[in-house]
Amino acid sequence: MNTISGLNELATLFQWVKSTISSLGTQWNGTENDNLQGDVLQLQSDLKCLGDTLQAVYILIDRAEWRIHDQCVADLLPKVKEAVYDAEDLLDEFTWHAHKVSVEVPCHSTSSVH
């Protein structure tokens, strides 16, 4: 997965979520709305941090592969790669949800006009 484009798609999802929460704010009390907004902002921040960390780990893996002859590196590298694959899978899942929302939202907005 291209982490940068995935994060850009996630940013679009979070913009939609924030605007939706704001529009639903009249149905919730202020505390519920504030809590949900805070949770969304925290998730957005955490995913951005994960993407930034992945970029650094890609560099680390590249450098470690040059030192694969070192037994300690040879033992740890597969574990690091597995952690990266798990993180990429997580970002892929959020990206999939971002695509799903972008496809479903226009349908809901046009159906509510009728």
Give yes or no for residue 108 having a pLDDT over 70. Answer: no
In a domain, 5, yes or no: no
The per-residue pLDDT for 60 is 93
For residue 10, pLDDT beyond 80: no
| Per-residue pLDDT, 1 | 45
Complete DSSP assignment for the chain: --HHHHHHHHHHHHHHHHHHHHHHGGGS-HHHHHHHHHHHHHHHHHHHHHHHHHHHHHHHHHHHHTTTTSHHHHHHHHHHHHHHHHHHHHHHHHHHHHHHHHHHHHHHHHHTT-
Q: What is the domain range of residue 51?
A: 34-108
Of 103 and 89, which is predicted with more confidence? 89
Q: Give a yes or no: residue 49 inside a domain.
A: yes
87 falls within a domain: yes
Mean pLDDT in residue range 14-38: 67
Residue 58 lies in a domain: yes
Express as a percent the part of the chain with pLDDT over 70. Answer: 62
Over residues 57-66, the pLDDT tens digits come to: 999 999 999 9
For residue 74, pLDDT over 90 is answered with yes
pLDDT of residue 71: 96
In a domain, 2, yes or no: no
pLDDT band at 95 (very low <50, low <70, confident <90, very high): confident
| Number of domains the chain contains | 1
17 falls within a domain: no
| pTM (two decimals) | 0.62
